[in-house]
Amino acid sequence: MPRQQLWVEEPALRRRMPDPVRAAAVRAVLIMSLTIIQAMVAFLSSVTGSWLAFPMVLSSVASTVGATWSVLDVWVTRQVWNQRNGVVSIPSSSARRLRRERRRARRAARTEVRDGTRIRRRSTDRGLSRA
């Protein structure tokens, strides 16, 4: 009986997020988790009537604004990345088609410039004078 491997690599279903987007997402998750912890501490200290309740509620409101901002940062970073680096689409993309057409036009322009500056060969029917 063959032994089964402990770790089996499977192909990813989705592409990996770009580094700036992933960094923004990690930042947003950390900020949101700290905000939830802070809100829970504010709630529990309010229930117990602690002196810490009022400052914690105020800071929880400020943290909620910060967490919202960080989530918006993920969205904006993702949009900027897609705008700068093109959209990844399956299988035929209009962006890919436009890039292909632009590439062909650039190649044709370079070929025209190169052919225009090239020294033309003399035709063989003229030939050199024979002395």
Give Cα separations from 94 to 88, 90, 100, 119, 131 (angstroms). Answer: 11, 10, 10, 40, 65
For residue range 47-71, list pLDDT tens digits in order: 999 999 999 999 999 999 999 999 9
User: What residue type is assigned to position 47 of the chain?
Assistant: V
Q: Calculate mean pLDDT across residues 73-84.
A: 92
Q: State the pLDDT confidence band at 74, using cuts at 50, 70 and 90.
A: very high
pLDDT for residue 7: 83
Strands (E), the chain: none
Q: Which of 25, 7, 2, 3 is nearest to 81 (CA)?
A: 25
Does the pLDDT at position 122 exceed 60?
A: no
Nearest to 21 by CA among 66, 71, 74: 74
> Does residue 23 contact residue 73 with C-beta atoms inside 8 Å?
no
Of residues 34 and 94, more confidently modeled: 34
